[in-house]
Structure 1
Amino acid sequence: MSRVCDLTGKSAMKGHNVSNSNVKTKRKFYPNLQLKKFYIPEEDRWITLKVSTSALKTINKNGISSCIQKFLKKGYI
């Protein structure tokens, strides 16, 4: 199960842990993903998506149908 947002395509970034002695060790910064169920009234069905919290805020503001159409148009899905 990959850690990628289904709508925006956000995935893990690479970086370093930096200690007090300035020794750098590799680490990953994972996106804040949540598994959520959404109801689509046009299709009269529920879908389950793994979305980032920033995508959740966008869905709450604009609605799931318009967000899916927008992300399809941009090519994220």
Structure 2
Amino acid sequence: RTKRRFNVNLFTKKFYYVEQDCWISLNISAAGLRYINKVGLDAALNSAVAKGYCDWNNIKVIA
């Protein structure tokens, strides 16, 4: 038998962050992408930072 691994379904996506008027790049899972579509980018980022999933320093701003 071989050990089966369940990896996270990650994407590198670019989003337009309206509140900051810039493009950002995020490594995000498929579930995170659905959550952003549901509540919006700003609410999802604030929720992720509040829960400790990411830090504002980890978010790449694309000029």
- Class of the TM-score when normalised by the shorter of the 2 chains: 0.7 to 0.9
**Larger % of helix: which?**
2
SS at 2:3's partner residue?
strand
Task: Report Cα offsets for 1:10-63 as digits up to 9, x if no partner.
Answer: xxxxxxxxxxxxxx3223211111111011111100011110000000000101
With the length of structure 1 as denominator, give the TM-score of the two structures.
0.65
Q: Kindly, what percent of the aligned residue pairs are identical?
A: 44
Quote the Cα distance in structure 1 between the aligned partners of 2:33 and 2:52.
18
Q: Which has the larger radius of gyration?
A: 1
Unpaired runs of 5+ residues, structure 1, are 1-23
Unpaired runs of 5+ residues, structure 2, are 55-63
Equivalenced residue count is 54
CA RMSD in angstroms comes to: 1.0
Aligned to 2:49: 72
Give runs of ≥4 in structure 1 deviating > 4 Å: none
Aligned to 2:31: 54
With the length of structure 2 as denominator, give the TM-score of the two structures.
0.78
Quote the Cα distance in structure 2 between the aligned partners of 1:26 and 1:63.
38
SS at 1:26's partner residue?
coil
SS at 1:76's partner residue?
coil
The residue type paired with residue 46 of structure 1 is W
